[in-house]
């Protein structure tokens, strides 16, 4: 029983990374992730680095639409809270049969396409209207606001439909004819750079940023130039994930930070740039598994978002059209800061704090999604759910975790791009769930599928580490000979030492196991990786118990139990209570042994009850899904499909 507990403690031991792959690039991290991008505004790349690094939001600097009666009605419906989308669409559709002038026709098609794209799921109609707006506006002189907004929105929609090859030539043409319109030229350059990052073509993305930087310098767009430089850092940071040289990014991040602090400009823009930079910096540390080192930056970020939330956008009206450029709307920034806080709490093992900020973020997202169907909001929601699912598995709430996995499946069904960006993370979460309910064959299948779907180094290492725990538990020792990877994440390297210690323990090589586990403790203590610390302590305690050194065993198990209770980690608590029971029996402490036995019984009952509930859910059938899109419907289960006794 105790031996199997060693493996059960591993799921979500690492900060299950959740890559932020999205329709637009940015930064963020853990099952390695990516952050999406805002509707119709520049953004930078894949991962939360891909999330923070890329969402550019801007407001069109062109002339307003004609203020006829129908236009006024449209504006009224659009600005209602929540927007009256159906009435808004009907009002705009009534304009077109009257054969309006070309300018009004193009603008009406743009408005219809924008409303349908942002507030409905009718992508086909939205695409048709935007294509007409783009076609008509190209024939009209001095109509840049409609022309380039149509091109920008249409390329976003193509990306949502996984038609990146259609979006790129559209953006190239728009960039070519926008050189006399600095705001749109810069924004479209960002957008095309972002598309290249989706395809991992970081060389082309950086080349475009270079073009944008030179253009911004010539026309005097200081704010855009700063955004461009920060984004360049994000691309380098992403590229280092494939070269295992995260240290290369530190000097550039430091330089960018100094430039942002010294810049004298609009207060709102400066705070926006600071949030942009700090999100990039925080996610860089989190990707590197440096949970303790990131705390000062995270605190700065939280203070910065509090400051920016007190400023009003209309306090200082910018005179330069480039100053209309924003990397992300203020409301989205707040959710993003909640998200990186959740990521940090998950890695550090502060699961109650992660739960608190997840609840706040999801509540804010629900309010935003009533007014805005921007793809970035769905990406934020998926990433938050991925992290809270890992928390549920650690705290012993498997049934809730399974229902939330099903919720992620439903969100991914609504967007091909979202599914392609999160498919590997989704199968990884299912693998972790399978371990928690002792479906080891299914766990192996899920992890193998996830490995096939990802090329991200940290996510790959995370999956391999958990797959190794499955092989150890199943006695598939020959497969452990392939357990070797190079990874720049401090947390994942520490977890790899734990896995080696666990393997040596099962092999009966106790001195070797202790050496690996002490290395894990050294690394986890250096960066406050509480779950790894708790797991290493209890396994060391188990080794000392087997060797008959009861005093040293007790010195390890007691702090492990205290730390596990603080997290809280149900598997480590179950394991520790069993060890304390047996230790006290061996030492003749009947009262303490009885108390530990009672604790163990309580934890066992909680886990068994949750096991029964989870395996009885229709969503439990997801464990057999390993190919194609997630299933839409689930057949009800007759009951648990695995042995409950194996949990003990």
* Number of Cα atoms under 13 Å in the Cβ half of residue 225: 13
In a domain, 112, yes or no: yes
Q: Across the chain, what does the average pLDDT equal?
A: 80
Distance CA 42, CA 374 (A): 13
612 vs 231, which has greater pLDDT?
Answer: 612
Would you call 316 exposed, middle or buried from its count of C-beta atoms within 10 A (0-12, 13-18, 19+)? middle
Distance CA 80, CA 64 (A): 19
Provide Rg for the chain, Cα atoms.
27
Q: Which two tokens stand for residue 187?
A: 């924004």
Looking at the chain, how many residues does it have?
Answer: 648
In a domain, 167, yes or no: yes
In a domain, 325, yes or no: no
**pLDDT for 79 beyond 60:** no
In a domain, 138, yes or no: yes
> Quick one: how far is CA 33 from the chain centroid?
4
In a domain, 143, yes or no: yes
Cβ–Cβ under 8 Å, residues 174 and 138: no
pTM score, two decimals? 0.80
In a domain, 267, yes or no: no
Which structural domain, as residue segments, surrounds residue 157?
83-178
The pLDDT tens digits for 501-546 are 999 999 999 999 999 999 999 999 999 999 999 999 999 999 999 9
Distance CA 585, CA 302 (A): 49
In this predicted structure, what is the pLDDT of residue 483?
62
Distance CA 259, CA 261 (A): 6
In this predicted structure, what is the pLDDT of residue 107?
93
Of 411-425, 467-481, 561-575, the range with the highest mean pLDDT is 561-575
**pLDDT for 255 beyond 90:** no
Would you call 141 exposed, middle or buried from its count of C-beta atoms within 10 A (0-12, 13-18, 19+)? exposed
Q: Where are the beta strands (DSSP E) in 335-389?
A: none
In this predicted structure, what is the pLDDT of residue 18?
39
Question: What's 133's domain CATH number?
Answer: 1.25.40
Q: What dihedral angle (degrees, nearest 10) is formed by the CA atoms of 602, 607, 613, 619?
A: 160
- CA dist 418 → 18, 191, 342, 401 (Å): 13, 18, 20, 20
In a domain, 111, yes or no: yes
- CA dist 45 → 19, 223, 374, 485 (Å): 11, 19, 17, 25
- Number of domains within the chain: 1
In a domain, 566, yes or no: no
């Amino acid at each position: 029983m105790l031996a199997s507990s060693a493996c059960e403690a591993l799921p979500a031991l690492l900060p299950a990374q959740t890559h932020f792959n999205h329709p637009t690039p940015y930064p963020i991290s853990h099952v390695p992730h990516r952050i999406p991008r805002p509707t119709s505004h520049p953004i930078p790349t894949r991962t939360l680095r891909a999330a923070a690094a890329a969402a550019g939001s801007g407001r069109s600097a062109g002339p307003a639409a004609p203020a006829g009666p129908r236009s006024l009605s449209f504006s009224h419906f659009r600005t209602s809270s929540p927007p009256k989308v159906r009435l808004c669409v009907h009002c705009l559709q009534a304009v077109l049969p009257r054969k309006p002038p070309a300018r009004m026709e193009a603008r009406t098609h743009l408005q219809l396409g924008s409303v349908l794209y942002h507030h409905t799921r009718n992508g086909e109609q939205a695409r048709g209207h935007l294509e007409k707006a783009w076609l008509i506006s190209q024939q009209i002189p001095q109509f840049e606001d409609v022309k380039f907004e149509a091109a920008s929105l249409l390329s976003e929609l193509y990306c949502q439909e996984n038609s990146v090859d259609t979006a790129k030539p559209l953006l190239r043409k728009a960039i070519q004819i926008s050189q006399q319109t600095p705001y749109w030229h810069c924004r479209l350059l960002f957008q095309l750079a972002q598309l290249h990052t989706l395809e991992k073509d970081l060389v082309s993305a950086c080349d475009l940023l270079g073009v944008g930087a030179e253009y911004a310098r010539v026309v005097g767009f200081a704010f855009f130039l700063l955004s461009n430089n920060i984004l360049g850092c994000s691309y380098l940071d992403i590229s280092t994930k494939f070269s295992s040289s995260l240290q290369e990014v530190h000097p550039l991040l430091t330089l960018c930070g100094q430039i942002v602090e010294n810049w004298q400009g609009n207060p709102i823009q400066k705070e926006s740039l600071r949030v942009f930079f700090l999100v990039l910096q925080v996610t860089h540390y989190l990707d590197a598994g440096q949970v303790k080192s990131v705390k000062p930056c995270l605190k700065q970020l939280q203070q910065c978002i509090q400051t920016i939330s007190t400023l009003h956008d209309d306090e200082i009206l910018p005179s330069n059209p480039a100053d209309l450029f924003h990397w992300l709307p203020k409301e989205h920034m707040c959710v993003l800061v909640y998200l990186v806080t959740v990521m940090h709490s998950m890695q550090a093992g502060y699961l109650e704090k992660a739960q608190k900020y997840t609840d706040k973020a999801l509540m804010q997202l629900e309010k935003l999604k009533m007014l805005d169907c921007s793809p970035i909001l769905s990406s934020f929601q998926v990433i938050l759910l991925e992290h809270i699912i890992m928390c549920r598995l650690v705290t012993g709430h498997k049934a809730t975790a399974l229902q939330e996995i099903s919720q992620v499946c439903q969100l991914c069904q609504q967007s091909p791009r979202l599914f392609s960006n999160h498919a590997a993370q989704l199968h990884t979460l299912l693998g972790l769930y399978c371990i928690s309910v002792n479906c080891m064959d299914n766990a192996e299948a899920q992890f193998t599928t996830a490995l096939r779907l990802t090329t991200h180094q940290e996510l790959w290492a995370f999956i391999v580490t958990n797959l190794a725990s499955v092989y150890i538990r199943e006695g598939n020792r020959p497969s452990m000979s392939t357990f070797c990877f190079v990874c720049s994440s401090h947390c994942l390297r520490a977890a790899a030492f734990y896995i080696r210690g666990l393997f040596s323990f099962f092999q009966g090589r106790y001195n070797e196991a202790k050496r690996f586990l002490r290395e894990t403790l050294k690394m986890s203590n250096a960066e406050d990786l509480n779950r790894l610390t708790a797991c290493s302590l209890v396994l060391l305690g188990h080794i000392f118990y087997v060797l008959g050194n009861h005093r040293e065993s007790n010195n390890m198990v007691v702090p492990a139990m205290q730390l596990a209770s603080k997290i809280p980690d149900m598997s480590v608590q179950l394991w520790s209570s069993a060890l304390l029971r047996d230790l006290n029996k061996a030492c003749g402490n009947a009262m303490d042994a009885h108390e530990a036995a009672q604790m163990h019984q309580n934890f066992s009952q909680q886990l068994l009850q949750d096991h029964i509930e989870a395996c009885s859910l229709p969503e439990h059938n997801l464990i057999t899904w390993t190919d194609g899109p997630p299933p839409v419907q689930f057949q009800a289960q007759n009951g648990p499909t695995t042995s409950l006794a194996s949990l003990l």
